Amino acid sequence: MEDSVRSKILIFGGTGYIGKYMVKASIKLGHETFVYTRPLTPQSNQNKVNLHKEFQSMGVTIVQGELEEHEKLVDTLRRVDVVISALPFPQVPDQIHIVEAIKVAGNIKRFLPSEFGVEEDRVKGLPPFEACLEKKRKIRRAVEEAGIPYTYVSANCFAAYFVNYLLRPHDQDREDIVVYGSGEAKVLLNYEEDVAEYTIKVANDPRTCNRIVIYRMPKNILSQLELISLWEKKTGRNFKRIHVPGEELVKLSETLPHPDNVPVSVLHSIFVKGVLLNFELRENDLEASCLYPDHDYTTIDQLLDVFLVNPPKPASAAF
Ligand SMILES: NC(=O)c1ccc[n+]([C@@H]2O[C@H](COP(=O)([O-])OP(=O)(O)OC[C@H]3O[C@@H](n4cnc5c(N)ncnc54)[C@H](OP(=O)(O)O)[C@@H]3O)[C@@H](O)[C@H]2O)c1
């Protein structure tokens, strides 16, 4: 795909948390952009209606349909070159409908399934997290079996999402911060705008075809304790650290009902076990900041400066 002939990109889940960033990045980078979204109804949430209008004003083509509408999917796929799925975790298995439609359409140059987290073929979590990873792995295997050109993206932690969850910057009265395990495991916090922009670049890059791309930006590697110290320096405040031992997370993963047992298992893998960085990149792996050295990504230090002046809304219920 030459830069002068920019690919047309179809995004599933484009109205969602990370999907919105992807749609904006796709438009910013000059791609004709399509979003496949469930139909609006009189009961649709006003925010969703407004988002559709915003997308339309940006020039996005919105296709309303269900994942089960095979003909509509095939027709939509035939209008584009590249497909990015940002469907939420519960809909990961439903991506098989996209895989089937891509096989029939026959024109798709690249498919990025909904991943954007840990490198699931090299990470093993507690059983509730492992079950989630297994669903994502199954889609990988279906894509490979179908011979669809793919790129798998391991974006690691979304920075705004996790900083918001860990530090709760909007809460000015807060005196303590929860630390998972010892707080010393290194993690990777990558800002959502960068995740989205790298993903659009990756989806169109001949170097990334049938490869795994890991977003391991060097300035975004730090431990929870380092993150808290950095925040203390910026805010001029001191926070009491409340440690939740790893064993307590294990126990909660065994006793909480599904799906509440999933977030504690994810926290255990990332913050206690340090799974984001406990493997070396292989010769075949690609790393985003190396692929695109000209992209000036937002560092975690810079993101905290933004949150200091403009704290994000309270964290959503996911964790
Ligand atoms: N690395 C990280 O830190 C991190 C954090 C969060 C998520 N993730 C990953 O990022 C990916 C996207 O997650 P997200 O949280 O951004 O998704 P999300 O916001 O929960 O949902 C994305 C969109 O999917 C569509 N959708 C929701 N329910 C659906 C259903 N029942 N059937 C069909 N479509 C449905 C909706 O779009 P319409 O209403 O327009 O159809 C929704 O806006 C997932 O793979 C997730 O695991 C990673």
Which residues share a beta bridge with 33?
9
Q: pLDDT confidence of 315, banded at 50, 70, 90?
A: low
- pLDDT for the residue numbered 318: 56
Catalytic residue among 136, 138, 186, 313: 136
3-state helix, strand, coil in the chain (%, to 5): 45, 15, 40
Tokens of 258: 């599904």
197 Cα–ligand 1 center, Å: 18
What is the average per-residue pLDDT within 192-210?
98
For a pLDDT cut of 70, what percent of the chain falls above it?
Answer: 97
What one-character DSSP code corresponds to residue 89?
Answer: G
CA of 284 to the centre of ligand 1 (A): 29
Which of 15, 18, 85 best tests ligand 1's pocket when mutated (most atoms within 8 Å of CB)? 18
Specify the residue with its C-alpha closest to ligand 1, atom 43: 16
28 is catalytic: no
CB within 8 A of 66, min separation 6: which ones? 38, 39
Q: Which of 10, 11, 17 to mutate to test the pocket of ligand 1 (most atoms within 8 A of CB)?
A: 17
How many separate helices (H) and strands (E) can be counted in the chain? 12, 13
Half-sphere exposure at residue 185, Cβ-oriented, CA atoms within 13 angstroms = 21
Distance of CA 122 to the CA centre of its chain: 17
- Work out the average pLDDT over 176-202: 98
Band (319; pLDDT cuts 50, 70, 90): low
Digit-coded pLDDT (tens) for 9-36: 999 999 999 999 999 999 999 999 999 9
Cα distance between residue 92 and residue 86, in whole Å: 9
pLDDT, position 313? 80
